[in-house]
Amino acid sequence: MCLKEHNLQKREVRVILDALAQTWPPQAIPQKVKQIRVVEVETKGEILILDGVIAVRTGKPSRIVPLLRENTLSLFPSITVDPGAIKFICNGADVMRPGVVDMTSFSQDSIVGVKERNYGKFIAVGIAVADSDSLRTASTGPVVKNIHYVGDKFWEVFKEHGANK
């Protein structure tokens, strides 16, 4: 797997930090970031390393979500899924309402962590397609658009090269 690594210029760092300020909880954003290291992951996107916090940037429009192995993910809203949904989510499927057993409060377009019920471990992170209040009353349909999940390219790259960060 061919990886390109580089540091962002100061103005690009400011753009990333501004984007995080609009979508991440304040306590999840590292303070006084001077440098952001970027690891390009084929055509899928990039892994961003910001002062020890690791994030994934992908998609059009570009979204920045925490890497699944990040402790900061616990600062985001979450949903819990039953064991039957895990294999689908870990193959890239969006989270559907029938598999959801619990959820915290969140608004539409929020970054949401996806946990499995038995051990409470995060298996995916994505974007809420609606607010939690309307999703609680729904019985079918999508809940979270899957952006990053266990076993995807970002997971594998970090697993192979994460110790070198």
Complete domains list, the chain, with CATH: 3-66 (3.10.450), 72-149 (2.30.130.10)
Name the more confident of 101 and 33: 101
Name the more confident of 86 and 71: 86
pLDDT number for residue 60: 66
pLDDT number for residue 30: 87
Name the more confident of 18 and 43: 18
- pTM attached to this predicted model: 0.90
Q: How confident is the model at residue 162 (pLDDT cuts 50, 70, 90)?
A: low
Give the DSSP letter string of 24-59: S-GGGSPSS---EEEEEETTTEEEEEETTEEEEEET
| Size of the chain, expressed as the number of residues it contains | 165
**Where are the extended beta strands (E) located within 67-121?**
78-81, 95-96, 100-103, 111-116
Please state, in angstroms and rounded to a whole number, the distance separating the CA atoms of residues 118 and 95: 17
CB 143 within 8 A of CB 129: yes
